[in-house]
């Protein structure tokens, strides 16, 4: 299986890998001239062979191009409340593997984690790097975007952008299956997940007033790092993405 690398753009019949990717191809994978790899940019996948090395950068010759595969037909944006430890990283890694389009960290009322501007920028950069690595590993056709942390009010203000906004909540709501079946034509989804202590009734009501639908994920209480993955998998299954 050829290694895959994401680029900002591709022009002409050659690609030049960034230094970090060149190091991985040349030093870690020990690729020699003629070794195949795939470059992805602008929704296209370019089959390449390593042609030469210039100033430590791998230069590949494009042999074929086709639309990139690996992307769901639907778009899912996850608004994930800030969580402790490595939970956010796990959600971004595994959510990327599943097919999430965008991640937005949200400072909820019960979020234990508090980030100042400097830490928020550092975390966002790290989370974007994790998304990129997971996209390469899982053969995605695009790298999910990771937005800077937002307040709950800012996140809820984005609800009109989506065809369907869902708020899994242990306090009650409609069954997720029934809601998905009632909106078969939805293509853009927003998913709001609370922190370890859950969402407050006021937060859920604010989202509901903006057009979101509170839903249940069954009789069990899921952790903040488990709930988004379960919900995304259910949405993808309902939309035929597992076929």
Domain residue extents for the chain: 4-67, 75-238
pLDDT for the residue 235: 97
What is the assigned CATH class of domain 4-67? Answer: mainly beta
Q: Smallest Cα–Cα separation from 198: which of 85, 112, 75?
A: 112
Give residue 97's pLDDT. 97
Secondary structure of residue 33 in the 3-state scheme: coil
Token pair of 138 as six digits: 């899982």
Eight-state DSSP code of residue 228: H
pLDDT digits 0-9 by tens, 111-135: 988 888 899 999 999 999 999 999 9
3-class DSSP assignment, residue 133: helix
Alpha-carbon distance of 194 to 101, in angstroms, equals 19
Residue carrying structure tokens 């949200």: 106
Distance CA 94, CA 144 (A): 12
The pLDDT value recorded for residue 240 is 94
Q: What is the CATH number of domain 75-238?
A: 3.40.1280.10
pLDDT-derived band at 172, boundaries 50, 70, 90: confident
pTM of the predicted model as reported, rounded to 2 decimal places: 0.88
- Could you read off the pLDDT of 222-241 as tens digits, one per residue? 999 999 999 999 999 999 99
Cβ 191 vs Cβ 229: under 8 Å: no
């Amino acid at each position: 299986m050829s290694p895959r690398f994401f680029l900002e753009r591709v022009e002409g019949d050659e690609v030049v890998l960034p230094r970090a990717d060149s190091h991985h191809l040349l030093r870690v994978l020990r690729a020699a001239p003629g070794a195949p790899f795939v470059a992805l940019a602008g929704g296209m996948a370019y089959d390449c062979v390593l042609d030469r090395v210039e100033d430590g950068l791998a230069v590949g010759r494009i042999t074929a191009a086709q639309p990139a595969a690996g992307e769901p037909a639907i778009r899912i944006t996850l608004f994930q409340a800030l969580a402790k430890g490595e939970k956010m990283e796990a959600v971004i890694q595994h959510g990327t593997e599943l097919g999430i389009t965008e991640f937005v960290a949200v400072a909820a009322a019960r979020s234990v984690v508090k980030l100042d501007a400097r830490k928020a920028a550092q975390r966002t950069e790290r989370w974007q790097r994790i998304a990129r690595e997971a996209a390469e590993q899982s053969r995605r056709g695009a790298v999910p975007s990771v937005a800077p942390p937002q307040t709950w009010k800012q996140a809820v203000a984005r609800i009109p952008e989506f065809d369907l906004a869902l708020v899994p909540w242990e306090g009650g709501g409609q069954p997720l299956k029934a809601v998905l079946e009632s909106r078969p034509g939805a293509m853009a989804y927003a998913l709001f997940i609370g922190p370890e202590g859950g969402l407050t009734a006021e937060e859920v009501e604010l989202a509901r007033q903006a057009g979101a639908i509170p839903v249940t994920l069954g009789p069990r209480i899921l952790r903040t790092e488990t709930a988004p993955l379960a919900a995304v998998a259910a949405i993808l299954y309902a939309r035929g993405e597992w076929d």
